[in-house]
Amino acid sequence: MPDQPTPAEAARALRDVEQRKDQAFEAIQDSLWVRVVFGVAVFVLLAVPDFAGPDAIVWTSWGFALIAVGYAVMVNTRRGSAVLGRQARMRQADLLPRRFPLARRLMLLGLMVIGIIGAFVPHGRITLPYWHTVLGAVLGLALILFTPAYQRALAALARRDRNRKQDADGSR
């Protein structure tokens, strides 16, 4: 092999480098069982007050927190990630969009606040029976079914952000 690639070979190699870097974004996919565990946990967390009274939510909240912390610890270790079905770990610097628009951040924050208020603040006027259970079932199912699409959307956003930054730097 010659010491210097031809311009055509260099251009092809640069395209390959970009393509391979993009493939790294496909690594962020959880196994189905992980989504099922989280979906069921959300369902139980929300449904328990309908059957065991509002005091039970203290215990279910602890249970959910334990699952979430366990997941966070596992996803940061090689062996834990392997158990979760993740074969690679994305670099955080590439994963977090640098220019995530403020409007989207506020929208996400607003949705979280509404969700928390809706789930935990008692509503005296609402008489819909088992509405916590219904909400839990909807959210749990959404988590199981739509998490891959959400992860893909986040990966696409991060990939677009990285490419835009490289274009701005002139490194692409």
Question: Binding residues for other proteins, per CB under 8 A?
Answer: 1, 3-7, 10-11, 13-14, 16-17, 20-27, 78-79, 82-83, 87-92, 94, 171
* Rounded least distance, CB 96 to other proteins, Å: 13
Write the CA distances from 147 to 7, 18, 39, 50, 141, integer angstroms. Answer: 42, 26, 10, 26, 10
Nearest residue (CB) to other proteins, 31 versus 87: 87
Closest CA to 59 of 41, 33, 73: 41
Nearest residue (CB) to other proteins, 22 versus 50: 22
* Rounded least distance, CB 41 to other proteins, Å: 23
* Rounded least distance, CB 82 to other proteins, Å: 4
Nearest residue (CB) to other proteins, 85 versus 118: 85
* Rounded least distance, CB 5 to other proteins, Å: 6
What is the residue-wise DSSP string for 17-81? Answer: HHHHHHHGGGG----HHHHHHHHHHHHHHHHHHHHH-GGGHHHHHHHHHHHHHHHHHHHTSHHHH
Nearest residue (CB) to other proteins, 81 versus 133: 81
Under 8 Å between Cβ of 155 and 96 = no
Q: Which residue's entry shows tokens 């208020």?
A: 117
The token duo for 169 is 């730097």
The token duo for 129 is 């029976």
Nearest residue (CB) to other proteins, 91 versus 125: 91
* Rounded least distance, CB 21 to other proteins, Å: 5
